[in-house]
Structure 1
Amino acid sequence: MADYGAWDRRSLLRGAAVVAGAAATAPLLGGGAAAAQAGDDADALFKAGKFEQAGRAYEEMLRTDPRNLHAARRRGFVGLLSNRFPEAERYLKLAIEVAPGDKDANRFLADCYMRQDKFALSAPHWQAAGDEGAAKVFGALRGEPYQIHGDLAQVSWLQMDPQPLVEASVNGGPPKRFTFYTGAPSLSVSATVAKEAGLSPIASSKIDYLNGKAWRHGGILESFKLGGIEVRNLPVAWMEWESGGDVTTENDGMIGTWVFYHFLTTFDYAGRQLILRRNTPETVARARAAAKPLPMWLAREHMVYSRGSIAGSGPRVVAVPIGGGSEPAAATHGDTAERLRIRTDRDRPIETFAHSHPAVAYPCYPKEIRLGDAAARDVYCYTNPNSKLDPLGFDVPVTFFHSFYKPYNVTLDFTGMNLYIAPGKAV
């Protein structure tokens, strides 16, 4: 399901100097050159994380060239980043009308429908995007997905490290130990739990995982109960080694972003509890009273982004996966550490994994990393010089991890698309 491989970047994105010089040069250019210049400007804005300005620039391109595939796809993606579904659908449908086989446009539109629980509409676009597994699972789901029963789940953590664990029930069975991570998409369970729950795979694929080969299965789960909330009829994934057996014994499963974006979700690190509430004006108002809102974007079906900074970088788009387990408070990407002159210990390389594949990182110690009013200074981080800054077309110089959030509580509002981070326990 949802094979998050490399994305096709079809245009070279130029730096901020292009934007600065555009106004002076545009009147001197011919029609074709002007359109190319506008495209460069829009891409530069998008690369810099200035999504609203980029959206307007792509709209201007489409007024000049209504069948510009790149502009339509990117404009749809801008809407999708902020869960503005009508505008995302409008431009992504235009992109697919221009190029029916465009995999990126189809994937974005499949994601757009999926976020609205319109699984039947998403399935053919997963197919067109080349994800057979997702097409099969979402095409097979019948009835209303993610049926929510109950108003509040407030569950204490069994542990903080090496990864948070909570208890939850699968198909009415005994409590199981689940971790959670917004760097993961669907709810997943271990192969053992899948067998106990009587799950049958709808789609299966063999993948490279850590240092071996594993089978990844997708299916439909009847019931998942966490505290006072039960969710029924939802997609689920599980994995097992090619030789058989669970890929991990550290937990019985993982709760991913697809579950969390159906709620107003609070990861109360300071209070060691996970809180799910129905997203209402009253519950959002309580979150807003505790902290000022930060912008939030959702990309690649499940990855959460906000605006933060590292080592005096100024406000930038940053990745904020929450949960999982990590000793470093953050990881920098590409040449970020070198460019910002962050102290790096290259004599002590760390052999680790990134997206389940081997990677080499180095300890580094930025003077400050910041997310709104939440900050950590001279804290232990990683730098991965070989990771890309812009896998989705916009630069992401730093990713915040589990350890950063420990003094705080973090609330994600997927309706207003805001992130709230406040010191201490959630009220």
Structure 2
Amino acid sequence: MNRRCGSAGLHIGARFLLLACLVSGAAPPWRAEAADFLNRARWSLAAGNLEEAERLARKEAALHPGQGQAWSLLGAIALQRGNQPEAEDALEHALRANPEDGEAASLLALLRRRQGRFREAASLLRSLGREAEASQLAAFGTAPPFRQRGPDEIRLSWVGSGWRPVIPALVDGKREADFLVDTGASCVVLDRRLADRIGLAAVGSARLLGAGARSTGGKLCRLPSLRLGGTEVRDIPVAVVDLRRAGKAEETFQGILGSEFLQHFVVTLDYPGRRLCLQKAGTSSPSAAGRLVADVPLRLTPGGLVVVPIEVASRERLLVFLDTGAAETALALSRRAAGRLGLTPLRRGERYFGVGGGYRASPILLRDLRFAGFSARNVPGLIAPFPAQIEEGEGIPLGGFLGSEFCRPFRVTIDFPRMRLLLALPERET
């Protein structure tokens, strides 16, 4: 089985993704000249025009309500927007029309997983031949995952001196460990040595996609508990890998909190104050402190990447994901996106390390970057290798990612319940 999970690389990040979350066939070569609404909708989605894709798919569904493909596409778009009831309705409609629709079944399994309905997700995954992931979810039995006990709000100071958000936690009530808060990871990741020390039993194996388009082997497990401050979160699906392979030197953290965990909170990363706030979903959201400079809708890919639009190079629009695990990178672009923008490297590629091994990335300079009305000039960036599973296979065309270097001046709030991303400057800079 392939899945994708974390960005714990040296400077760029590992971008751990459990590959099974990537929907097979999500980005086929659609024809722009196709006359029917469905092909035009798919082409619009591949071009990044999500609103037009939804409009055309709805027209196709109205014309041919008994055919499932348009419903499957509408389910995928609703899932990206975080509209779970609408996604459920559309995907169930698609499977009633065509019970053999593997893409709709895969998306519905993902939805069931996000809803915490692991037994139903496991059944769908087995029908798709994804036995390892199914076994991991089935191991939870009837226990609801991600159960929280304690205060609705968690506030923690970062540890260490770097710019990546690393926080302390108590693992399974036995071991203290530091965790990287990483929106470039799809799941919770534990280092192999930590998992061995607490006696975590594997229920399956997986391939995890890491930095530089490389993959690494991992184990799938069920973690009984994780305590952050005064709050305990119980029954967590995790992937176990050797984090020492993330670079030449051993990492300063022993685990990664990816988007599957973070989606249960409103997440605020206060970079100037070096603090993390997790507000339990469903409780009153904290107001943004400081001067708000951006408030934009976000999309969530099947692999859990937080996607937002940016403008570069004379208002050229790109969709990128936020990667808080990328320590010293403001913006990394894929080679395809850099070529489209006419960007050339400033010098020869340099060697970087991440989970899965080493790779080369080339430095660039972007004269202008715009994000939701906020603009920055002379932004240093990189041209980095991006695997096709991320660049094309996530159902949204992704041109790169924003890293922690971009976030450093801001309080960054990822409001998963409302599917919004907010940037605020601290009071002293207003």
In which range does the TM-score fall when normalised by the shorter chain?
0.7 to 0.9
Q: Is residue 29 of structure 2 the alignment partner of residue 12 of structure 1?
A: yes
For 2:195, the aligned partner's letter is A
Provide the C-alpha distance between the structure 2 equivalents of 1:164 and 1:355, rounded to a whole number of angstroms: 18
Work out whether 1:136 is the aligned partner of 2:138: no
Q: CA deviation at 1:76?
A: 0.6
Asked if structure 2 preserves the Cα contact closer than 8 Å seen for 1:46 and 1:394, the reply is yes
The CA distance in 1 between the partners of 2:354 and 2:31, in whole Å, is 27
Structure 1 residue 86: Cα displacement: 1.7
Cα shift at 1:139: 1.4
Query: What SS does structure 2 have at the residue aligned with 1:379?
Result: strand
What residue number does 1:365 align with? 365
> Is residue 44–residue 50 contact of structure 2 (8 Å, CA) maintained in 1?
yes
Report whether the alignment pairs 1:237 with 2:239: yes
The corresponding residue for 2:308 is 306
Q: Secondary structure at the match of 2:202?
A: coil
Q: Deviations over 1:207-232 (max 9, x none)?
A: 78779996411121121011132111
Alignment of 1:396-411 (within 5 A): 396-411=398-413
8 Å CA contact retained: 1:361, 1:383? yes
Offset of 1:286 from its aligned partner? 4.4
Aligned runs of 1:239-388 on 2, under 5 Å? 239-240=241-242, 249-280=251-282, 282-286=284-288, 290=292, 292-321=294-323, 323-345=324-346, 347-352=347-352, 356=356, 359-384=359-384, 388=388
Deviation at 1:358, TM superposition (A): 5.6
Deviations 1:401-424 (A, max 9, x none): 121111111111111111111123
* Change in CA separation of 1:374 and 1:226 when aligned onto 2, cut-off 3 Å: farther
Report the alpha carbon displacement of residue 249 of structure 1 after superposing the two structures with TM.
Answer: 4.4
Structure 2 portions without partners, runs of 5+: 4-17
- 1:105-130, Cα deviation, whole Å (9 max, x unpaired): 22211111111111112112222343
Q: Deviations over 1:37-70 (max 9, x none)?
A: 3223312332343323322211211222234443
TM-superposition CA deviations, 1:349-384 (whole Å, max 9, x none):
234468846654321111122332444321221124
Judge conservation of contact 1:258–1:302 (CA < 8 Å) in 2.
yes
Partner residue in 2 for 1:96: 95
Residues 206 and 45 of structure 1: is their aligned pair in 2 closer, same or farther, counting only changes over 3 Å? closer
Q: Which has the higher contact order (CA 8 A, sep 6+)?
A: 2
CA distance in 1 between counterparts of 2:284 and 2:271 reads 22
Q: Secondary structure at the match of 2:19?
A: coil
Map 1:85-234 to 2 at 5 A: 85-142=84-141, 143-149=143-149, 150-161=151-162, 163-205=164-206, 215-234=217-236
Superposed CA RMSD in Å reads 3.2
Asked if structure 2 preserves the Cα contact closer than 8 Å seen for 1:222 and 1:234, the reply is: yes
What whole-Å deviation, never above 9, does each CA across 1:163-200 have from its counterpart, x for those lacking one? 43211101112421111211112222112221222211
Q: In structure 1, what residue type is equivalent to 2:29?
A: L
Aligned to 1:27: none
Matched residue type, 2:65: P
The separation in 2 between residues aligned to 1:181 and 1:130, in whole angstroms, is: 29
Which range is displaced more, 212-221 or 141-150?
A: 212-221
Return the letter of the residue paired with 2:370. Answer: R
Q: Partner residue of 2:62?
A: 63
Instruction: Tell me the distance in 2 between the aligned counterparts of 1:221 and 1:261.
Output: 17
Letter in structure 2 aligned against 1:236: V
The separation in 1 between residues aligned to 2:81 and 2:232, in whole angstroms, is 27
Q: Structure 1 residues 264, 9: closer, same or farther in 2, change over 3 A?
A: closer
Alpha-carbon separation, structure 2, partners of 1:397 and 1:278: 31
What secondary structure is seen at the aligned counterpart in 2 of 1:49?
coil
CA distance in 1, matches of 2:275, 2:93: 44
3-state DSSP class of the match of 1:362? strand
- In structure 2, relative to structure 1, the CA distance for the partners of 1:393 and 1:185 (3 Å cut) is closer
Figure out how many residues of one structure are paired with residues of the other and give that number.
404
Structure 1 counterpart of 2:342, which letter? Answer: R
> SS in structure 2 opposite 1:344?
coil
Which structure has the bigger radius of gyration?
Answer: 1
Query: SS in structure 1 opposite 2:269?
Result: strand
The alpha carbon displacement at 1:344 in A equals: 2.5
Most deviating of 293-302 and 375-384: 375-384
Structure 2 CA distance, aligned partners of 1:98 and 1:104?
A: 13
Give the Cα separation in 2 of the matches to 1:408 and 1:10: 34
- In structure 2, relative to structure 1, the CA distance for the partners of 1:362 and 1:10 (3 Å cut) is closer
Residue 136 of structure 1: SS of its match in structure 2?
helix
What is the distance in 1 between the residues matched to 2:427 and 2:128? Answer: 43
CA contact (8 A) 1:59 1:71 kept: yes
Query: 1:334·1:387 contact (CA, 8 Å) conserved in 2?
Result: no
Would the aligned equivalents of 2:109 and 2:120 in 1 still touch at CA under 8 Å?
Answer: yes
Paired letter, 2:405: S
How far, CA to CA, are the matches of 1:214 and 1:336 in structure 2?
26
Distance in 2, Cα, partners of 1:423 & 1:411 = 11
Higher share of residues assigned strand: 2
2:174 and 2:277 map into 1 onto residues whose CA distance is: 22
> Identity percentage over the alignment?
25
CA shift at 1:325, angstroms?
3.0
> Aligned equivalents of 1:70 and 1:108: distance in 2?
13
How many Å apart are 1:307 and its aligned residue?
2.0
SS of the equivalent of 2:105 reads helix
